[in-house]
């Protein structure tokens, strides 16, 4: 199944005063950038056909994959001066690089790569700045069985702030952590049907304009995920992920614990089981 990655924004909340020319998806987590971790997650589930919606910092992303070094995260042997890889990461990946503009909203980016996903019953999409251990192929099956035209991963609120109940007099009557509120947030992992492409208009927003309309029609599915989910939208959040990586706390790296890659479910098999 094809995977559309939105990786062309400015990433203003990630800026840390260092090299601001590096786009957010290229911020490092261990020896690999954030976008690699997102792509490796999808590849673990058998989805290895990627369309990158580029914009700001496109050259960094292009050059990284044009000069990709498999030896950075795989074992290898040097024999007779030649490098022989014992494992590979991306040798069976297909990556399409498309300039979708530095200031385009997400829906517009998707509209500009429409030709690369037309004809697909379903395809996947992601913001390229969030890591999770969500069961992607199970989510795909849920969407097919529900008959929805799209699905989004939804998660409990992640904010560390508190909500305050206050009377007109100024008397505070209660304090509740935002994370304890009975609400859900968009988790940034989408399963989209081909029908969504016909809903895209110039400069539209994927969530507010498209998903909002589908929700009003009862055609949007939400997968509630209570497992690991962590954004890397700010410098602090990325630092938290980096520190967790160094400690060996890497729940999003499902491929490290898998004996065999998870096969991409065939449409025929999935439909037959629904």
185-240 per-position pLDDT tens digit: 999 999 999 999 999 999 999 999 999 999 999 999 999 999 999 998 888 888 99
With 80 as the cut, is the pLDDT of residue 267 above it? no
Alpha carbon of residue 252 to chain centroid: 11
Rounded to the nearest 5°, which phi and psi values hold at 118? -60, 140
With 80 as the cut, is the pLDDT of residue 177 above it? no
With 60 as the cut, is the pLDDT of residue 159 above it? yes
pLDDT at 272: 40
The answer to whether the CB of 186 falls within 8 A of the CB of 207 is: yes
Q: What percent of the chain has pLDDT over 90?
A: 66
pLDDT at 259: 54
Q: What percent of the chain has pLDDT over 70?
A: 89
| Residue 145 structure tokens | 């069985």
Residues 56-64, mean pLDDT to the nearest whole number: 93
Residue 112, CA distances (Å) to 4, 65, 125, 139 in order: 11, 22, 14, 26
The answer to whether the CB of 143 falls within 8 A of the CB of 194 is: no
Q: Which range among 129-143, 153-167, 173-187 has the greatest average pLDDT?
A: 129-143
The pLDDT-based confidence of 12 (bands split at 50, 70, 90) is very low
For the chain, give every domain's residue range.
Answer: 2-73+83-154+183-273
The pLDDT-based confidence of 72 (bands split at 50, 70, 90) is confident
* Whole-number Å distance between alpha carbons of 25 and 210: 24
* Whole-number Å distance between alpha carbons of 103 and 118: 24
The pLDDT-based confidence of 11 (bands split at 50, 70, 90) is low
What DSSP string runs through 167-214? Answer: -TTS-EEEEEEGGGSS--EEEEEEEEEGGGGGG--TT--IIIIIIHHH
The string of pLDDT tens digits covering residues 23-46 is 889 999 998 999 999 999 999 999
The string of pLDDT tens digits covering residues 249-265 is 999 999 988 754 445 54
pLDDT at 9: 73
pTM of the model: 0.85
Superfamily of domain 2-73+83-154+183-273: Spore Coat Polysaccharide Biosynthesis Protein SpsA; Chain A (3.90.550.10)
pLDDT at 52: 98
Nearest to 225 by CA among 265, 184, 270, 176: 184
pLDDT at 233: 82
Least confident segment among 121-125, 246-250, 260-264, 268-272:
268-272
With 90 as the cut, is the pLDDT of residue 93 above it? yes
Would you call 164 exposed, middle or buried from its count of C-beta atoms within 10 A (0-12, 13-18, 19+)?
Answer: exposed
DSSP conformational letter for 261: P
pLDDT, mean over the chain: 88
With 70 as the cut, is the pLDDT of residue 182 above it? yes
Alpha carbon of residue 242 to chain centroid: 17
């Amino acid at each position: 199944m094809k995977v559309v990655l939105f990786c062309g924004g400015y990433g203003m909340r990630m800026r840390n005063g260092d090299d601001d020319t590096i786009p957010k998806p290229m911020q490092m987590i261990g020896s690999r950038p954030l976008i690699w971790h997102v792509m490796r997650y999808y590849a673990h589930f058998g989805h290895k056909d990627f369309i990158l919606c580029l914009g700001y910092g496109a050259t960094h992303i292009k050059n990284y994959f044009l000069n990709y070094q498999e030896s950075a995260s795989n074992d290898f042997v040097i024999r007779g001066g030649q490098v022989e890889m014992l494992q590979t990461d991306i040798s069976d990946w297909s990556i399409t690089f498309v300039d979708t503009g530095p200031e385009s909203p997400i829906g517009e980016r998707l509209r500009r790569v429409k030709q690369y996903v037309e004809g697909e019953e379903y395809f996947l999409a992601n913001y390229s700045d969030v890591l999770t251990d969500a069961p992607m192929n199970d989510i795909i099956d849920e969407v097919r069985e529900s008959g929805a035209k799209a699905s989004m991963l939804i998660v409990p609120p992640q904010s560390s702030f508190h909500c305050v109940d206050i009377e007109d007099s100024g008397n505070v009557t209660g304090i509740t952590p935002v994370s304890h509120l009975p609400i859900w947030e968009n988790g940034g992992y989408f399963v989209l049907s081909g029908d969504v492409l016909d809903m895209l208009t110039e400069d539209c927003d994927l969530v507010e304009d498209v998903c909002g309309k589908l929700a009003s029609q009862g055609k949007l599915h939400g997968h509630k995920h209570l497992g690991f989910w962590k954004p890397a939208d700010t410098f602090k959040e990325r630092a938290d992920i980096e520190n967790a990586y160094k400690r060996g706390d890497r729940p999003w790296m499902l491929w490290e614990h898998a004996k065999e890659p998870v096969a991409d479910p065939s449409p025929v098999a999935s439909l037959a089981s629904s």
